[in-house]
Structure 1
Amino acid sequence: MEQDTHVLVVDDLEQNLVAMEALLRRPGVKVLKAQSGREALELLLAHDVAVALFDVQMPEMDGFELSELVRGSPRTRHVPIIFLTAAAVDVQRSFRGYDAGAVDFLYKPIDPHVLTSKVGVFVELHRQRAELARRMEELQRALQLNEMFTAVLGHDLRTPLSVVKVSAELLLMQHRDEATRSIAQRLKSSASRMSRMVEQLLDVYGLKSGGIPLKPVACDLGELVEQICAELSVGGCEERLQVVRRGPLDAVLDRDRVMQVVANLIGNALEHGDPSRPVTVELDGGQPQQLILRVRNGGTVPAERLESLFAPYQRAGKPQRAGLGLGLYIVDQFVRAHGGRVALRNEGSDTLAEVVLPRDARASGQTVVPL
C-alpha cells in the first residue's frame, strides 16, 4: 500500500491551520499541523515531509528562526520551505527569507490556485525521489544476488571442468588414433577456455566484493613470460610466439596476478591477431624503476573500440567469438593495483598492448586490487 505524502503547515493561529488543511488535503496527501516552532521540529523529525509552509510572524520562534534550525539539521535540511506572511511586501524581508533557506515567499491573502500548484510540484518531486530510491534499492539487491550467484556457480563449475580436462589428457596419452586425439584435443581446449571464463568471473566477483589481496614476491618477469609461452605452445602456438628480452627483469610483483596479465594479453594476441603473422613479446628492463611488457600482433582494432576495450564485457575480437569480454578489464585492474598502467593502440598494421610495471609493487601502497 502506497504511503501518504506529508505536507507540514506551521502557523500560530488555529483557524489558519484549518483553512490550509482544507485547501491542501487530497487523496495521498496528509497535512501535518503545528502551532509553534517546537511542534514543527518534532513533526519534521518524526515524518518525511515533501514541503513545509512556515508563517513568518509567530511568537517565541518566528519562521526565519525555524527555517535556520531546519537547515542546520542533516535530517531536515533537504525539506523545501515556503514562507507565508500577512505583512506588506518588503524586499529586505524577502531577502532574509531566501537567505534562511526558503524556496518561495508568498504574501497573504494567498491565491489558492497558486499555493496548491506550488505545493503539488514539491509533492510530485518527493514521490518521484521516493520511487527512484525504491528502485535503486531493488536494483542493488538484484546486483548482490547476481554476484552471489556468479560466485557460487563459478566455484561449483571448477570440479566438473577439471574432470573434463583430466579425461581429455588421459585420452591423449592412451590413444594414437588421430580421430580420437583430435576429439580429445578439442575437449581439452574447450575445457581450458571454460576454466579461464570461470576464473575471470571469480576475479570480477572478488573485485566487486572488496578486492583481491596482492602478494608481491621476488620474481623474474622473463621467467613468468617464458612459463606462459610454454603453456600456450602446447596448443600448437609455439611457432607464432617470439620473445625478445632486454636488460635485467628482476622485480617484486604479485606473481599470480602478473601471470594472468601476461596470459590474457598473449592469449588475446594469438586468438584475435592475424594467424599468418607472429606474436612478439618484448620485455624491456632497461630502466631502474620500472619494467615494460609489449605484446604485438598482426591486425588492428577499430579506432572507435580502442577506448572501451578495458571496460568489462568488451571483446577484443569479433562479437561472435567465444569469451566473456572480461580479460582486458581484469588486466587493467591488476596492472593498476601494482601501480602501473596499460594501454592498447594500433601501430601501422599491428596492434600493440603495452604494460608498464614498477620493479617493486610494494611502493604502490596498494594491498588489494581495487574496484
Structure 2
Amino acid sequence: MSAHELSKILIVDDLPENLQALEALLRHDQRVIHQANSGDAALALLLEHEFALAILDVQMPGMNGFELAEVMRSTSRTRHIPIVFVSAAGRELDYAFKGYENGAVDFLYKPIDPGAVRSKVAVFVALDQQRRETRRQMLALERSRQEQETLLRELNQTQQELQRSLKMRDEFMSLVAHELRTPLNTLFLETQMRSLQIKRGNAAAFAPQQMEAMVQRDERQIKSMIRLIDDMLDVSRMRSGKLSIRPTQVELMSLLERIVSDLSLQAATTGSSLTLQPHDPVSGCWDEFRVEQVIVNLLTNALRYGGGQPVQVSVEQMGECVRIDVRDSGKGIAPGDLERIFEPYERGARNGEPKGLGLGLYISRQLAISHSGELRVTSVAGEGSTFSLMLPCTAVPVCA
C-alpha cells in the first residue's frame, strides 16, 4: 500500500504522555497517526488531511472534546469522520451520553483496554480502506465511461467521415466520367466523320483549311482532358505535400498582359471582354507557372459565371505585397457559399449546370498559400464578385 493510501488517524489530548502512549498502541504499517494537543491544533490538521477516525480526549483546556466534535459536525469536510471520545472522568458524570449526542460512534473510559482499542480502530481503518477502494473504483468506472464516450464519439465521427469520403469518392468518379465523356465523345465523333469521308473518297474534306479546323478542335478537346487530369494530380500532390514550387524572378504585369491576350478569344466567345488596368511593372519571386495557373483559373471562372459582362483585372501594390483583383459583373455568390467554393469538388452553379470537377478554386487557394499569400473573395448579389490574390513581393521560398 502506497503512502497516499494509508489511513490517517487523529488523536487529540492535552497531555503529551497520553498522546505517546496512544500512538504506540495504534501504530501500524497501514496507518499514519497525527497528534494534536489542543482543539485548535486538531482543527488545523482536519483542514489539511482526510482522517479515517478521530480519537478525542473530552477534558482539555480551551476547546474541550465535545466542543471540537460540535465544530467537526458543522463542517461538510469533517462531518463524516467517525469520533471516539476518551475520558478519565467517572461514569457517574454521564459523559458517554453527551458524547453520543455529539455524534460519537463510541466512548472509552481511561484506563483504556488496549485490545478493545486496537479492535475498534481496526474496524474503522477497514471501513476507511473499503471506502477508499470504492471511491477508486467509482473514479475508475467514471474514467472508463468517459473514455468509452470519447471513443464512441470518435468512432461515430470516423464513421461519418468514412461515409462522407465514400460519398465524395462516388461523386468524384461520377464527375470525372461526366467531364471526360464530353471531349472523348467529341473526338470519337470526329474520327467517325473522318473515317466516313475517307470511305467515300471525299478528299475535299481534308483540304488544308478543313484540316486546320479539325486539328484545332482536337487540340481543344485534348487540352480539356489534360487540364482535368492535371487538376486531379495537383490535388493529390497537395494532400501528400509533394507539390513543388519553383520560384524565380517574375515581372507580373507582362505575365498578366500575356494571359489576358491568350484568353481574349475565349472571352469573345462568351460575349464578354477582358480588360487589364494599366500599372507600373511589379516584380516578385514566384513560381511563374503556378501564378499563371491561379490567374487563368480566376479568369476562366469569371468568364463562365460573369453572364457575358466585361471582366476586369487590376493590380495594386501594397507595401511588400501585391494584390491582383479579378472582377466580374455576374449574379454574385451567396454569403453562405463564399468559403464553400474553395473546398475540393465544390462547384458553383451560378449560370445553370455546374461545370468542371470543382477543383480550380481549391487548387488556386492552396497555390496562393504555397507562396505565403492568400486568395479571398468578396461578392454582392446582383453586382458580381471580386477574387483577390495577395502575393508577397519577397516570397518565403528564396529565389535562386
Q: CA deviation at 1:234?
A: 4.9
Matches within 5 A, 1:29-44: 36-37=1-2
Q: CA deviation at 1:133?
A: 5.6
2:359 pairs, out of 310, 323, 326, with 326
Does the 8 Å contact 2:368/2:374 carry over to 1?
Answer: yes
**1:209 is aligned to 2:230:** no
Q: Corresponding residue for 1:237? A: 268
Q: CA RMSD in A?
A: 5.6
Which amino acid counterpart does residue 128 of structure 1 have in structure 2?
E
Q: Corresponding residue for 1:345? A: 378
Paired with 1:61 and 1:247, the residues of 2 have a C-alpha distance of 86
Does the 8 Å contact 1:229/1:241 carry over to 2?
Answer: yes
Q: Deviations over 1:304-362 (max 9, x none)?
A: 3224333333334338412232222222221222222332113672321122222232x
Matches within 5 A, 1:125-144: 125-131=146-152
**1:282 is aligned to 2:314:** yes
Which amino acid counterpart does residue 281 of structure 1 have in structure 2?
V
Which amino acid counterpart does residue 264 of structure 1 have in structure 2?
N
Paired with 1:248 and 1:211, the residues of 2 have a C-alpha distance of 32
2:144 pairs, out of 123, 127, 134, with 123
Q: Corresponding residue for 1:313? A: 345
Q: Corresponding residue for 1:46? A: none
Q: State the SS of the aligned residue for 1:357.
A: strand
User: Are residues 147 and 317 of structure 1, via their aligned partners in 2, closer, same or farther at CA, if it must alter by over 3 Å?
Assistant: closer
Q: Corresponding residue for 1:298? A: 329
1 or 2, which has the higher strand percentage? 1
Q: CA deviation at 1:232?
A: 3.1
Matches within 5 A, 1:41-120: 55-57=5-7, 86-87=52-53, 91=77, 107=128, 110=131, 120=141
2:256 pairs, out of 204, 207, 225, with 225
Q: Corresponding residue for 1:22? A: none
Does the 8 Å contact 1:219/1:250 carry over to 2?
Answer: yes
Which amino acid counterpart does residue 279 of structure 1 have in structure 2?
V
**1:248 is aligned to 2:281:** yes
Q: Corresponding residue for 1:6? A: none
2:227 pairs, out of 196, 201, 206, with 196
Which amino acid counterpart does residue 250 of structure 2 have in structure 1?
C
Which amino acid counterpart does residue 245 of structure 2 have in structure 1?
L
User: Are residues 113 and 182 of structure 1, via their aligned partners in 2, closer, same or farther at CA, if it must alter by over 3 Å?
Assistant: farther
Q: Deviations over 1:123-168 (max 9, x none)?
A: 3333334455667788899999999999xxxxxxxx9999999989
Q: CA deviation at 1:296?
A: 1.2
Paired with 2:345 and 2:257, the residues of 1 have a C-alpha distance of 28
User: Are residues 169 and 237 of structure 1, via their aligned partners in 2, closer, same or farther at CA, if it must alter by over 3 Å?
Assistant: farther
Does the 8 Å contact 1:264/1:331 carry over to 2?
Answer: yes
User: Are residues 87 and 193 of structure 1, via their aligned partners in 2, closer, same or farther at CA, if it must alter by over 3 Å?
Assistant: farther
Normalised to the residue count of structure 1, the TM-score between the two structures is 0.54
**1:259 is aligned to 2:292:** yes
Structure 1 spans left out of the alignment, 5+ residues: 1-35, 39-53, 64-83, 95-105, 151-158
Structure 2 spans left out of the alignment, 5+ residues: 9-27, 33-49, 55-71, 81-126, 172-179, 195-204
User: Are residues 201 and 86 of structure 1, via their aligned partners in 2, closer, same or farther at CA, if it must alter by over 3 Å?
Assistant: farther
Which amino acid counterpart does residue 296 of structure 1 have in structure 2?
R
Q: Deviations over 1:79-103 (max 9, x none)?
A: xxxxx984469949x9xxxxxxxxx
How many residue pairs were aligned?
A: 278
Does the 8 Å contact 2:338/2:377 carry over to 1?
Answer: yes
Q: Corresponding residue for 1:9? A: none
User: Are residues 147 and 206 of structure 1, via their aligned partners in 2, closer, same or farther at CA, if it must alter by over 3 Å?
Assistant: farther
User: Are residues 207 and 169 of structure 1, via their aligned partners in 2, closer, same or farther at CA, if it must alter by over 3 Å?
Assistant: farther
Q: Corresponding residue for 2:85? A: none
Q: CA deviation at 1:247?
A: 0.6
**1:270 is aligned to 2:291:** no
Paired with 2:181 and 2:392, the residues of 1 have a C-alpha distance of 38
Q: Which piece of structure 1 moves more, 314-323 or 207-216?
A: 314-323
